[in-house]
Amino acid sequence: MNIKTIKSKTNLLGLSKKQLEDFFISIGEKPFRATQIIKWVHQRGVADISLMTDLSKQLREKLEENCEIRAPDVVYEKLSNDGTKKWVIKVGEKDLIEMVLIPEKNRATLCVSSQVGCAVDCSFCATGKQGFSRNLNLDEIIGQVWVAANSFGLPREPNSRHITNVVMMGMGEPLLNFEPVVNAMNLMTDDNAYGLSKRKVTLSTSGIVPKIDELSKVSDVALTISLHAPNDELRNELVPINKKYPIQQLLDSVKRYVDSCDDKRVTTIEYILIDGINDELSHAKELGELLKQLPSKINLIPFNAFEGSDYLKPSGNRVKRFQQYLQEQGYITTIRSTRGDDIMAACGQLVGQVNDKTRRKERAKKNLIQTKAI
């Protein structure tokens, strides 16, 4: 087999259910084969087509000739003192992305990346500071879940629930890579694949309003809004996309999203607390007022430091005071505990390992192009 043949093989990990059905129709097979493949690949973690025993030998041979199951390469894995696990994954020729598994008492949450870098360029985010490199393809997004699920050992235990929740909160703005992200989330919630309930798959967004409306037409996963400021003046500074889609437009689109779901939803609002910037009691009051229009709970995230940022994490007392005020107003308000920061796996610290000057320049250029396109 030469390199050319390898390259031209279809990666089954990168096909949605619909694309798999179309693929089987195109080779003269019945579309239900798609479900069989999804079960083998995503439910059981099998990468070897010859093991797919409910397909005829002839079909397996045909598939082996034309297809493969190629997961992204893990180049580095590290376990934090608190049990958080971080993987650095190579995608394509040179790009690196990160994913993080956060085990807790009764659940384990996998934090998945959707892009290499990010064009939104929030002032407090290490990924944003890195600039935008490129969108991830479906195989690279769902491949993260596949790799993490297989890390618990093969064959996968039937009905094992090692990963109970997935959050699209790794590198990138998921709504700026719409189709692959939606296809990946569909596989996460497919009973024949990862079988997670739609409430356990969370998409976090900085607020790409038209894409929230588009999402409401095709999905009803949990939506989390990265708000971080209670007024437009401050949010323009922290989350620059706010200049295009200001707070009220954003909250209106969230209301439309919630209305389109067939169950009652409380939206999670993420709010990073940065010392002396957005963590005054006056900000808490403004936030409490603002959110009266939307059933919401608030997740406070003390800023995680990274090299090159002048922002500081507020003291525990300031964080508590902010939380207490919102609780008194009747909001469920939690403080996100920092996990994995000894291995740079905490929120906002995800940058991939390689970050040299030339690549920064290349990314800055692409960043400009994507920002213009938003």
DSSP string, 317-357: HHHHHHHHHHHHTT--EEEPPP-SGGGT-STT----S---H
Interface characters, 173-192, with ligand SAH (x: CB under 6 A): x-------------------
Nearest residue to ligand SAH by CB is 348
Is residue 269 close enough to count as binding ligand SF4 by CB under 6 A? Answer: no
347 belongs to the catalytic site: yes
Catalytic residue among 111, 118, 122, 347: 347
For residue 280, indicate whether it is catalytic.
no
Query: Which value, to the nearest 10 degrees, does the dihedral of the CA atoms of residues 93, 98, 103, 104 take?
Result: -160
Q: Which residues contact 327 (CB under 8 A, 6 or more apart)?
A: 333
Q: Are 67 and 12 in contact (CB under 8 A)?
A: yes
In whole angstroms, how close is the CB of 245 to ligand SAH at the nearest point? 13
Where are the strands (E) in the chain, listed by range? 10-11, 67-68, 73-79, 85-91, 95-103, 108-111, 115-117, 132-135, 165-168, 201-205, 222-226, 267-273, 296-302, 333-335
Count the site residues for ligand SF4 by CB under 6 A.
11
> Taking CB under 6 A as the rule, does residue 128 contact ligand SF4?
yes
- CB 98, min distance to ligand SF4, A: 12
Q: Which does 333 bind (CB under 5 to 8 A by kind): ligand SAH, ligand SF4, none?
A: none
**From 98, 140, 173, 270, the catalytic residue:** 98
16 in contact with ligand SAH (CB under 6 A): no
Query: Which of 63/125 has CB closer to ligand SAH?
Result: 125
Write down the least CB distance from residue 177 to ligand SF4, Å.
11
Task: For residues 1 and 35, give the distance between their C-alpha atoms in angstroms, rounded to a whole number.
Answer: 29
- Size of site (CB under 6 A) for ligand SAH: 15
Residues that bind ligand SF4 (CB under 6 A): 118, 120-122, 125, 127-128, 172-173, 206, 226
Query: Catalytic positions, please?
Result: 98, 347
